[in-house]
Amino acid sequence: MTEDPLMSPEPVNLPPDLRALARSGCGVAVGSCGPDGTPLLGLGGGCRIDAAGRVRVLLPRGPNLALLAALEGGAPIAVTFTATRDHSSFQTKAQVAQICRVCSDDLPEMDRQMALFQDGLVEIGYSRLQASGYCAHQRTDLVALEFFPEHVFIQTPGPGAGTELGV
């Protein structure tokens, strides 16, 4: 991972259960805000979290140019992690994220998580072909986004969705 930590006034270290969920092969959705206020949204693939609490998610570049440009320009980031099997979910937010090159450590972990994600899709009724198609990424087109979560929200659907952790 990048040596230079992203500066964050009060980073939140994710509790073990949410770290486990984020790395369990769940759906990863990345959001930001365009210069004109447009909500920007992309689908990530794979997540790593280091001991310092830094979150690193992979994202295909091609379909997400506007999102990456916004993040590069200093727009805030929101990332939601969702388990396929039971929809348990949480959202992290940070004021700033850094765009990095994918490194050699990323791809095996992404492959592992994508395999779990596909297993989840098969479990809920999709064919293996459909599951692999859903997760298809151009490996050469991936970038990594790094950030320290400043806010964490429980996002599991229902009346409690949006409750901030530790507040």
Closer to another protein by Cβ: residue 72 or 105? 72
Within 115-144, the residues that bind another protein by CB under 8 A are 121, 124-126, 129-130, 133-134, 136
- Are 149 and 142 spatial neighbours (Cβ–Cβ below 8 Å)? no
Query: Using CB under 8 A, which of 11, 25, 31, 46 touches another protein?
Result: 31
**Sign of torsion over alpha carbons 108, 43, 147, 19:** negative
Structure-token pair, residue 38:
């447009």
Question: Site mask, another protein, residues 58-87, x = CB under 8 A?
Answer: --x--xx----------xxxxxx-x-xxxx
Give the three-state DSSP class for 61. Answer: coil
Q: Is 33 in the site for another protein (CB under 8 A)?
A: yes
Residues 6+ away with beta carbon under 8 Å from 143: 58, 59, 60, 61, 68, 99, 100, 101, 102
Q: Which residues bind another protein (CB under 8 A)?
A: 27, 29-33, 37-43, 60, 63-64, 75-80, 82, 84-89, 91, 93, 121, 124-126, 129-130, 133-134, 136, 153, 155-162
